Structure 1
Amino acid sequence: MVTTTADPWPLPRVVVAAPASGHGKTTIATGLLAALRRRGLTVSPHKVGPDYIDPGYHALAAGRPGRNLDPFLVGVERIAGLLRHGASVPTPADIAVVEGVMGLHDGAVGRRDYASTAHVARLIGAPVLLVLDTTAQGRSAAALTLGMAAFDPAVRIGGVILNRVGSPRHETLLRDALAEVGVPVLGAVTRAAEVAAPARHLGLVPVAERAPESLAIVTALAELVEATVDLDAVLDLARTAAPLTTPAWDPVAAVGGPAGAERPVVALAGGPAFTFSYAETAELLTAAGADVRTVDPLRDPALPAGTRAVVIGGGFPEAYAQALAGNTTLRAELADFDGPVVAECAGLLYLGRSLDDVPMCGRLDLTARMTGRLTLGYREAVAVSDSPVARAGEPVRGHEFHRTTTDPGHGDRPAWRWDDARHGFVSGRVHASYLHTHWAGHPDAARRLVEACR
């Protein structure tokens, strides 16, 4: 079905949630995406929150970009439009599957359920499929489900998938208990059948780092869901969602269209070491008039011909430090590059002098090292200095997620201020910090960067 941005769209959709992290949301969501695709359906994958890694597995399963729905980063008013946009390109989807974050009702710290899975489910009008880790649980699983549903009556739990079921007798006990509270069981996965992806210090290992192995995992997840989940019942649940009436988010409208006829080349870092990038970043840059091209700092000896600006997002440079150091020609080019450079987290580390004593680009006078401490959370920042992506005094919302630290922690011209402290670096035309941002929430960043190229 092809729709315009203004027509109501009866997009079937379902949110995969859980009472807490670790219940198996990613396993079930990824398996659902792959299994539905194997049925011949066009499936649109989405993730609540700022996470970059789960959407990589979603993309591999669905065959189209995994996209994030995060009210904190982009604003409540954009969530339904971003869902519709993601489900519309490159072709309209038959169903959208949205994986939640943490527990169903867990929101940003100190903000009740703001930016929680429940919040997003309400914003997009989607029923919830609750994944329950049933280890060491019997009838209490029904009480837990009933409590999750009653806690916010505006969130509709339409079914449950039992995970880590111990035996056929255990499954029967659970099904009988849930029947007592009127919640249908749409699937049951035994402990022996569980499939897991390898983990690292910041979560799962990204798909791009283990392409053949990741494909095998996704195939196994599809087979697991096909064998244990009633896909017809899931589709029926997804079809109960009301039509989407919000127009699709439009990157061209967000940036006001191209600023001129020239299309400057903007290099966007990719490859296994730099996997953290939202799909909307490239879309906004393109809409603002850029010719976006990918550069892999692990393998490409030079920036794309004619590059006028560089964007280096997050990832795992610490896992590839020696290989990054070995690409001396690209490091030297970036050290001398005179166009605008925007770097977030991994990009910040790559631009420094060294990472755990391994040489990096040396564009910024800082050293970086791994620590045992995880820095994680949403940030409300204010730009301290004018830069290629922000004007001094401009408020921006972002997210930190790292186990590294830099010395110094900020430059003479910091990039941001939050919590009464300065963060990051603005040096010449370079803007670098630990803050991950979603440019759909402040699209002027894309327009400002492209204008800086000219």
Structure 2
Amino acid sequence: MAIIIAGERSGVGKTTATLALLAALKARSPSNKVQSFKVGPDYIDPMFHSYITGLPCRNLDPVLTSEDYVRSCFAKHSRNAAYSLIEGVMGLFDGATGKDDTASTAHIARLLNVPVVLILNCASTSRSVAAIAHGYRTFDPRIQIAGVVLNRVGSDRHLELLTQALEPLNIPVLGVLPRQDNISIPDRHLGLIPTAEMSDLVGIIERLEHLGKNCFDWEKLLPLMGISPPQPLSHGERGVTLTPPLPQERLGDEGLRIAIAHDRAFSFYYADNLDVFREMGAELVPWSPISDHQLPENIQGLYFGGGFPEVFANELSENKTARESVHKAIISGIPTYAECGGLMYLCDRIVNFEDQSFPMVNILPTTAKMGKRLILGYRKAIALEDSPLVQKGELIWGHEFHRSSLTENSDRPLYSLQGYVSHLPYPYEGWQNYQVHASYTHLHFGAQTHLLERFLKKCHNQ
């Protein structure tokens, strides 16, 4: 059973509605498996999904992976679920380009043949909501809009006007969310504050559960969640099978252990990436650069994901023994993969938004300095150097999302970058020092398992 929650634009309450539905579904049948998915490369929204469902949320991104991988990932993880719910990204038709729906919520809805529930922001409008709903329903006839959820409804009279306007369209109203201030998930410079940092998370989820139980028409909603088989791939679409690429060999049978930084500073990891590590036989050993004084014992590789090292720069800097432990391991030759926040941690220092400077691991002779400009988007990365993950000349797909920049770039950069369709020039990016692959570019290994195989072979042979 599955539906996809879409917005008519960003900021209309997609995440609130999704979390309310997940919480209510889980409360209705605590023993039932509720599987969530998130369209696009986001890390933080899936943390909230997983907190509610108790299961890893899966990202569905046809640029970072492929159309075929999206279909197989969805089929694999929804197969045994009582309910599956997909949260969309931005507006329904917003994606990687203005020319088509690539990487949009609509793209995923088409690929998976899943009905769309459209969230409408009804604040400051009444009859005009019908024009918005009509436009979205008719813009692309391949998309099945099963109904709408009216969000930020101000009063009974406001609701009456809205339903009168929508009645001639015969679009089911599947939920009505009142304008309210008691459910507010705090955010900062990269989106929502992660679950691990929220002191009132239990209370917020309880209020979302109440909203979900009382503000949706479950008699109409539940029958819509019957899943249909995915449609066949059209000629020319990328990929031909419905099975994700599997590792060619297991490399961890002799006890390959990879230390993975996982705490409040480093929490941006795709669930599928962690699965691929394990499927290849590697043991991921969590540790905290904030609170642990040394790396775990008997490790053959280091993995630093993204996160918010700038927020916890003082704690990271004060843990001098951990920084020295990482520095010593890297200069001894241990293979290391660091992306975005992980790259920042390996720099000489981090300068935060308050212009305070904090010493870091000092493997990369540069400073990561926070700024106002948000750098984001899909990247086609062409490797300029060999690294523990890539070979010179290789083309891979990734994603950038950060507000920091480096004061000095490598004299032997790792990547030449291009946007998804834009021909605007991008600066060279990334570092390959010692056995380190450090880059702002986030990678998804699901359809690029050869990158991780290469990394683990380095770890196995070091």
Equivalent-residue separation in structure 1 for 2:206 and 2:450 (angstroms):
40
Question: 1:171 and 2:156 equivalent?
Answer: no
Question: 1:339 and 2:325 equivalent?
Answer: no
Unaligned runs of 5+ in 1: 1-11
Question: Which residue pairs with 2:200 in the alignment?
Answer: 213
Question: Which residue pairs with 1:38 in the alignment?
Answer: 27
Shift, 1:219, TM fit: 1.9
1:415–1:86 CA distance, 2 compared to 1 (3 A): farther
Contact 1:85–1:248 (CA under 8 A) maintained in structure 2: no
Larger deviation, residues 102-111 vs 345-354: 102-111
Larger deviation, residues 59-68 vs 119-128: 59-68
Question: 1:285 and 2:277 equivalent?
Answer: yes
Question: 1:108 and 2:96 equivalent?
Answer: yes
Contact 2:268–2:306 (CA under 8 A) maintained in structure 1: yes
Contact 1:289–1:450 (CA under 8 A) maintained in structure 2: no
2:349 to 350, 354, 358: 354
Deviations 1:380-425 (Å, cap 9, x if unpaired)? 111111111111111111111111111213x132121114541010
Larger deviation, residues 414-423 vs 219-228: 414-423
Question: Which residue pairs with 1:374 in the alignment?
Answer: 374
1:242 to 228, 248, 269: 228
Alignment of 1:16-35 (within 5 A): 16-35=5-24
Shift, 1:114, TM fit: 0.4
Question: Which residue pairs with 2:421 in the alignment?
Answer: none
Question: Which residue pairs with 1:254 in the alignment?
Answer: 246
SS of alignment partner, residue 45 of structure 1: strand
Deviations 1:117-140 (Å, cap 9, x if unpaired)? 000011111000011110111121
Deviations 1:52-78 (Å, cap 9, x if unpaired)? 010011111111111110111101111
Equivalent-residue separation in structure 2 for 1:86 and 1:406 (angstroms):
39
Counterpart of 1:97, as a letter, is L
Counterpart of 1:406, as a letter, is L
SS of alignment partner, residue 48 of structure 2: helix
Equivalent-residue separation in structure 2 for 1:111 and 1:445 (angstroms):
31
Q: RMSD between aligned alpha carbons?
A: 1.6
Alignment of 1:119-134 (within 5 A): 119-134=107-122
Alignment of 1:30-429 (within 5 A): 30-40=19-29, 41-88=32-79, 92-192=80-180, 195-210=183-198, 212-239=199-226, 241-244=227-230, 249-250=243-244, 253-259=245-251, 261-337=253-329, 338-356=333-351, 357-409=357-409, 411-419=410-418, 421-429=427-435
Shift, 1:25, TM fit: 0.1
Shift, 1:449, TM fit: 1.3
TM-score with structure 1 setting the length = 0.93
Deviations 1:297-329 (Å, cap 9, x if unpaired)? 111222222111111111011110001111111
Question: 1:13 and 2:15 equivalent?
Answer: no
* Identical counterparts, % of pairs: 40
Contact 2:111–2:231 (CA under 8 A) maintained in structure 1: no
Equivalent-residue separation in structure 1 for 2:14 and 2:209 (angstroms):
14
Equivalent-residue separation in structure 2 for 1:332 and 1:259 (angstroms):
28
Equivalent-residue separation in structure 1 for 2:182 and 2:136 (angstroms):
24
Shift, 1:248, TM fit: 6.7
1:70–1:348 CA distance, 2 compared to 1 (3 A): same
Equivalent-residue separation in structure 2 for 1:206 and 1:111 (angstroms):
33
Larger deviation, residues 157-166 vs 302-311: 302-311
Equivalent-residue separation in structure 2 for 1:140 and 1:249 (angstroms):
45
Deviations 1:15-38 (Å, cap 9, x if unpaired)? 000110000000000111111011
Counterpart of 1:346, as a letter, is G
Contact 1:84–1:249 (CA under 8 A) maintained in structure 2: no
Equivalent-residue separation in structure 2 for 1:85 and 1:302 (angstroms):
38
Counterpart of 2:66, as a letter, is G
Deviations 1:109-164 (Å, cap 9, x if unpaired)? 35521000000011111000011110111121111111101111111010111000
SS of alignment partner, residue 9 of structure 2: coil
1:177–1:35 CA distance, 2 compared to 1 (3 A): same
Shift, 1:364, TM fit: 1.3
Contact 2:68–2:242 (CA under 8 A) maintained in structure 1: no
Equivalent-residue separation in structure 2 for 1:48 and 1:295 (angstroms):
29
TM-score with structure 2 setting the length = 0.91
Unaligned runs of 5+ in 2: 233-240, 352-356, 419-424
